[in-house]
Structure 1
Amino acid sequence: MNLKPYTRQQLALRNGQDREEIWVAYDGKIYDVGSSRLWRDGKHYEHWAGQDLTEELRDAPHTDKVFDKFEVVGILS
């Protein structure tokens, strides 16, 4: 799988506000979470789309398996 690299600045634009895409990064991969009703408008509880959520996942009530249902659209460079 040859994924396009995105910078943190490019990821930040995919926040559901500046652009339609609702993306988040986790463990170096970028996921399109726009299909989830839990990420409507780019916000999921106290988390915002367009960010790397790797560190924040430690406090989440779920594991990283939650990302398995989303498409990987790139890698964080």
Structure 2
Amino acid sequence: MKRSEVKEYNGKNGKPAYIIFDNKIYDVTESKLWKDGIHMNRHKAGEDMTDFISMAPHGENLLERDNIRFVGNLEEDKQKEDKKLNIEDFTANCILTQYLFIFLWVYYISVLLCSFCTFLPVT
């Protein structure tokens, strides 16, 4: 199951409540702590809880309870893979940035020179 599909399992309107932890999908529908897809009025089902569980007063062993079921491993979305920055994009962006900097520097100097020229007396 992909991340975009897990978002649909938000525990609302009779849908199951799924969460993601460490690239694994868990069904928390039967947990009374996830009533209507909300946990502690803070966390919503259908989202990645990896960072939150790591900071919580309980550990990940909480996910091994009888009322929480392992659904499967998370599949990566192709869009996420395509968004990875490759070195060619980085190099092209650096070159464009350098040209922009040079252009702005030349423009700034020309503006300064023109403003200086207006103070010179005309003979």
* TM-score, length of structure 1 as denominator length: 0.85
Cα-to-partner distance string for 1:10-63 (whole Å, 9 max, x where unaligned): 000000126511110111111110011110000001111001111111221100
SS at 2:50 equivalent:
coil
Q: Which runs of 4+ in 1 moved over 6 A?
A: none
- Quickly say closer, same or farther: Cα 1:9–1:19, change in 2 above 3 A: farther
Structure-1 separation of matches of 2:73 and 2:50: 13
2:30 aligns with one of 28, 32, 35: 35
Q: Name the structure with the higher strand share.
A: 1
Q: Percent identity?
A: 36
Which region of structure 1 is more displaced relative to structure 2, 49-58 or 12-21?
Answer: 12-21
Give unpaired runs (5+ residues) of structure 2.
Answer: 76-123
SS at 2:46 equivalent:
coil
CA contact (8 A) 2:54 2:60 kept: no
Tell me which amino acid in the other structure corresponds to 2:26. Answer: Y
Q: Name the structure with the higher helix share.
A: 2
Query: How many correspondences in the alignment?
Result: 72
Give unpaired runs (5+ residues) of structure 1.
Answer: 1-5
SS at 1:50 equivalent:
coil
**Higher RCO by CA contacts (8 Å cutoff, separation 6 or greater):** 1
